[in-house]
A = this chain, B = another copy of it.
Amino acid sequence: MLKIAIVGVGTVGQAVADLLEENRKVITARAGKEIRIVKGVVRNLARSRSVNFPLTDDWRSVVADPDVDVVVELMGGVEEAKEVVEAALKNRKPVVSANKALLAYYRYELEVLAGEIPFAYEASVAGGIPIIRALRDGLSANHIESIRGIVNGTCNYMLTKMIDEKAPFDQVLKEAQALGYAEADPTFDVGGFDAAHKILILGSLAYGIDAKPEDILIEGIGHLSEDDIAFAKEFGYTIKSLAIAKNIDGQVSLRVHPAMIPKKHMIAKVDGVMNGISVVGDKVGETFYYGAGAGGDATASSVIADIVAIARGECMPMLGFKHAMEGGLKLAAKTDIESKYYIRVLVEDIAGVLAQISAILAQHRISIETVLQRKKRVKKELANLLLSTHEASEVDLIEALEEIGQLEFVKSSPVMIRIES
């Protein structure tokens, strides 16, 4: 029997307990032994819970308990979770965690501490999709060329709604909040921070890159308008919030931002709250993984998969590398991006506007691919100028947009969306 303690009995913790009970027979057959929850740790013992294992509010006693084989950390947060996990590892207990924030900040410290002790975290990225295993094990023979993931269901639900129903951001956000898909303070999701945590984890598995959220480019979806969506539709794109990791000539770009992507891509077909991740390996080519990225049951599915692996005697390296690669890869600078760009500029509808804007772009070595002009319905004298460019340097583009923003006939800061081809 494998005896586990669950630290944090919230939605996911409860789902793990229920799943273990409900699918007990098949899990036991696959694990080779029974998995039993012997202790749960909660903050508030007074709150009533329908669990059939003893509860305590003292995690220190639990991680030191010789009767606990595995510590399952589902409490969330960063610093206290780190203490819990560190204490468990120091007591040589394998750890299972769904805590992406903890891993985004401390995965390399924890890897060192864990050593040969299993530390599994399948649930931390893309919920029920076994993407950690795919990258760590399934594609281990490949140099990873790129990862492009839709790993935040809130953003994807909102963008799908904005595109399908031509609804504005604010209205869709209210609907998402009403349905429980978005938090009261939605910043963590719609600001791209949740996805950033996840791409840092995948970036370690693919490239061995040690970086923290503040080191990478993170852009939310709050600035997207219906004109952007109309432009995307007209030119065969859809707009998705992507978490991206790419090897560009030995520099690794890690970033989260909205992007226009061709509709025919598998990843463009991921709609609603679902998650999808495209991984391109130099030998295997494109592989793609799809499924539920959140929710108690899907997350519990991955948490228990990790527990089963530990029961079977798993011995995989936590971050995919058994030892560092000689001449390893470096993180690229945040603005070190070459891309095609879509630009939206709100202008007075007068002659000569396009000439001046394209002149500034040309001065910065940026050439235009397509142009579309949309009159504003509310203010007749204003128009949105929508452009797409050929491949350009982001540093050049930012400078050009800066200049364009200062033109007298430009009525608000230009908006830019990267085009992923």
Contact = CB atoms under 8 A, between A and B. Distances in A.
A30 interface: yes
A301 B29 contact: no
Contact of A290 (B122, B288, B308, B324): B288
A130 B141 contact: no
A157 to B, nearest CB: 15
Interface stretch (A6-14, A225-233, A311-319): A311-319
Interface stretch (A18-26, A362-370, A405-413): A18-26
Interface in A290-314: 290-292, 297-298, 300-305, 308-309, 312-314
A378 interface: no
A210 to B, nearest CB: 14
A311 to B, nearest CB: 8
A193 B140 CA distance: 30
Nearest to A308: B140
B301 A139 contact: yes
A163 to B, nearest CB: 15
B292 A285 contact: yes
Contacts of A284: 128, 291-292, 297-298, 301-302
Interface in A81-119: none
Contact of A301 (B281, B305, B309): B281
A134 interface: yes
A120 to B, nearest CB: 10
A31 interface: yes
A281 B291 CA distance: 11
Nearest to A15: B283
A134 B133 contact: yes
A320 interface: yes
Contacts of A52: none
Interface in A130-153: 130, 133-134, 137-143
Nearest to A122: B138
A79 interface: no
Contact of A315 (B128, B298, B313): B313
Contacts of A27: 140-141
B312 A283 contact: no
Contact of A322 (B31, B208, B304, B322): B31
Contacts of A298: 283-285
A141 B304 contact: yes
Given A266-B269, A284-B297, A285-B291, A130 B139 contact: yes
Contact of A283 (B23, B133, B140, B269): B23
Given A30-B140, A283-B23, A312 B305 contact: no
Contacts of A32: 317, 322-323
Contact of A29 (B26, B287, B323): B323
Most chain B beta carbons < 10 A, residue from A27, A137, A283, A325: A283
Contact of A289 (B122, B289, B309, B314): B289
Nearest to A288: B290
Given A289-B287, A322-B30, A301 B141 contact: yes
B138 A325 contact: no
A286 interface: yes
A282 interface: yes
A314 B317 contact: no
Given A30-B317, A128-B285, 5 more contacts: A25-B327, A128-B281, A141-B305, A141-B308, A287-B291
The 8 closest A-B pairs by CB, nearest first: A130-B138, A32-B322, A141-B304, A287-B291, A128-B284, A288-B290, A284-B301, A29-B325
